[in-house]
Structure 1
Amino acid sequence: MKEWRGRAVLVGGAMGLLAVWELSVKIFGIPLYVLPAPTDVAAAFGTEWETLAGHGAVTTLEALAGIGISFILALALGILMDWFPAVKKGVYPLLVVTQTVPMLVLAPIFIIYMGFGIGPKILTVVLMCFFPVAVSFSDGLGRVDEEYVHLVRSCGAGKWGAYRLVKIPAALPSLLSGLKVAATYSISGAVVGEWIGAQEGLGYYLLRVKNGYMLDKVFACVAVIIGLSLCMNGAVRLLGRLWLPYERKHKPYRRYSGGMDNEASGRM
């Protein structure tokens, strides 16, 4: 009941904000090239939906490819850092450094070496999505109670067997938390890559209509970007419910990875 009440408040607040926006534009006579009304944005979306759908499909493909690569690399590096502490001490600071460099600085360099194809866009997504997945998974592995590891080792499991039976399953909630963050970033990463150099995609479309001062189409494109980002996050949430159905009901992994991590993943 409280969940539905919260959603109702959220929807009501959004509708109220749109109403104030619409009335402000109409009352003060704000021109379209300064601030379009929500009805103007809706009309632009209605006339441009085929174009937006085509560009959105390109951006979504780039985001899916980038987050898929990030997921595989994060799994490998997370296990490697947990298996060899020396690797974690050497690699972890480098991961943090990669997040201090803006993607708008790196994207032109990618284009110089990789051209104007899909490669630089996917690489931009990878760099934006890899860090939260790798760090969350590595931290989840590090929080596993070693008593459970010793238990399976005493039953004859090898080191990889301990990871397969205990550590990786226990770190899945943390991994999903990182994936939720990365999924939200993935669409933005693809758009940033398209800003620098592209002939299709939402980033390319956004620049084109912005240069023509067609702000109603700009806002429609921004709405599509937000919607796709929410859909990517929702897809990871659905994956989590399918992947860990028992986690949502009974939360048995609190024993392994700690209550704080699971509470954080629940809030995400």
Structure 2
Amino acid sequence: MKGLVRGVVTVAGLLALWHLAYVMNGRRSYLLPSPEQTARTAIERFDTLVHHALVTYGEILLGLGLGTALGVASALALVSWAPVRRWLLPVLVVSQAVPVFALAPLLVLWLGYGLASKVAMATLIIYFPVASAFLDGLRRTDPLWLEQARVMNAGRWAMLRYVRLPAALPALASGMRVATAVAPIGAVVGEWVGSSAGLGYLMLHANARMQIDLMFAALAALAVFAVVLYRAVDAGMRALVPWQRESDV
């Protein structure tokens, strides 16, 4: 109940700030539409918003799933096999030196204007936070736990399954939260570079036609989904690591 109240108060505060910015801007809707105008446009263009939103939401969810799976698999491979770690870890680090946004035109060129290039873009953005956080958790397992497992004659895979994996789950949860927060970026940027549907496509074309209220309605639809997705993943991660206590400090 307290969380619901906080959410309502936060939304009301953001809307109040939005309206204040609109008033201070001289009520010039071509620069910043009011919340009321944006809501009215969202209702009038509801079918259009739903059509494009479903495309973007699908891209985000697919990218999140693929990026998480690849990140977890990479972290497990890096920590399990030294030869893989020696070859793959430098590649993983160097790959982040290239801005992911710079790859968007290439992905559209190689994979086309459809779903594949947007999912690939989202996967690339999500992959590194998951892989790096999970790998860090696996490599920072308490040495005393590992020593105790060795004393009990635990094999390599038993140690990974029963000691290192549970110990690394909180780090994976942190990586997943970061990945979820940035997940919409890849899909939207991919749509900006080249697409025929999606909220990014809708915002780009609405901006070109000075339909600023429609652009803000699309942005609001994206923001709401991002918050809901983050809350869902956060709840799932809490259920996955119920022994991890959180501090308010």
Same fold (TM over 0.5): yes
Query: In 2 relative to 1, CA 84–104 (structure 1 residues): closer, same or farther, beyond 3 Å?
Result: same
Query: In 2 relative to 1, CA 170–193 (structure 1 residues): closer, same or farther, beyond 3 Å?
Result: same
AA paired with 1:20? L
**Separation of aligned partners in 2, 1:9 and 1:67:** 30
User: CA shift at 1:63, angstroms?
Assistant: 1.1
AA paired with 2:176? L
AA paired with 2:175? G
Deviations 1:48-94 (A, max 9, x none): 22221221111111111111111111111112222235544543343
Q: Counterparts of 1:245-264 in structure 2 under 5 Å? A: 245-247=242-244, 251=245
User: CA shift at 1:9, angstroms?
Assistant: 6.8
Q: Out of 39, 43, 58, which is 1:42 matched to?
A: 39
Can you give the 5+ residue segments of structure 2 that lack an aligned partner in the other structure? none
**Alignment partner of 1:18 is 2:18:** yes
TM-score by length of 1: 0.83
Q: Counterparts of 1:59-98 in structure 2 under 5 Å? A: 59-85=56-82, 87-98=84-95
**Alignment partner of 1:233 is 2:234:** no
Q: Counterparts of 1:152-191 in structure 2 under 5 Å? A: 152-191=149-188
**Separation of aligned partners in 1, 2:69 and 2:27:** 52
**Separation of aligned partners in 1, 2:131 and 2:45:** 38
- Residue correspondences, number: 249
Can you give the 5+ residue segments of structure 1 that lack an aligned partner in the other structure? 252-261
The question of whether the paired residues in 1 share the 8 Å contact of 2:22 and 2:32 is answered with: no
Q: Which moved more, 1:40-49 or 1:87-96?
A: 87-96
AA paired with 1:127? L
The question of whether the paired residues in 2 share the 8 Å contact of 1:181 and 1:233 is answered with: no
Q: What's the counterpart of residue 206 of structure 1?
A: 203
After superposition, the CA RMSD in angstroms is 2.6
User: CA shift at 1:128, angstroms?
Assistant: 0.3
Q: What's the counterpart of residue 197 of structure 1?
A: 194
**Separation of aligned partners in 2, 1:8 and 1:199:** 35
User: CA shift at 1:136, angstroms?
Assistant: 0.5
**What SS class does the counterpart of residue 245 from structure 1 fall into?**
coil
Q: What's the counterpart of residue 111 of structure 1?
A: 108
The question of whether the paired residues in 2 share the 8 Å contact of 1:187 and 1:228 is answered with: no
User: CA shift at 1:42, angstroms?
Assistant: 1.2
User: CA shift at 1:120, angstroms?
Assistant: 0.8
**Separation of aligned partners in 1, 2:3 and 2:53:** 31
AA paired with 2:195? A
Query: In 2 relative to 1, CA 147–41 (structure 1 residues): closer, same or farther, beyond 3 Å?
Result: same
**Alignment partner of 1:146 is 2:143:** yes
Q: Percent identity?
A: 34
**What SS class does the counterpart of residue 203 from structure 2 fall into?**
helix
AA paired with 1:34? L
TM-score by length of 2: 0.89
The question of whether the paired residues in 1 share the 8 Å contact of 2:41 and 2:217 is answered with: yes
User: CA shift at 1:38, angstroms?
Assistant: 1.7
Query: In 2 relative to 1, CA 180–19 (structure 1 residues): closer, same or farther, beyond 3 Å?
Result: same
**Separation of aligned partners in 2, 1:15 and 1:196:** 30
The question of whether the paired residues in 1 share the 8 Å contact of 2:146 and 2:163 is answered with: yes
**Separation of aligned partners in 2, 1:136 and 1:168:** 13
**Separation of aligned partners in 2, 1:5 and 1:208:** 36
**Separation of aligned partners in 1, 2:67 and 2:5:** 37
User: CA shift at 1:23, angstroms?
Assistant: 2.9
**Separation of aligned partners in 1, 2:45 and 2:129:** 34
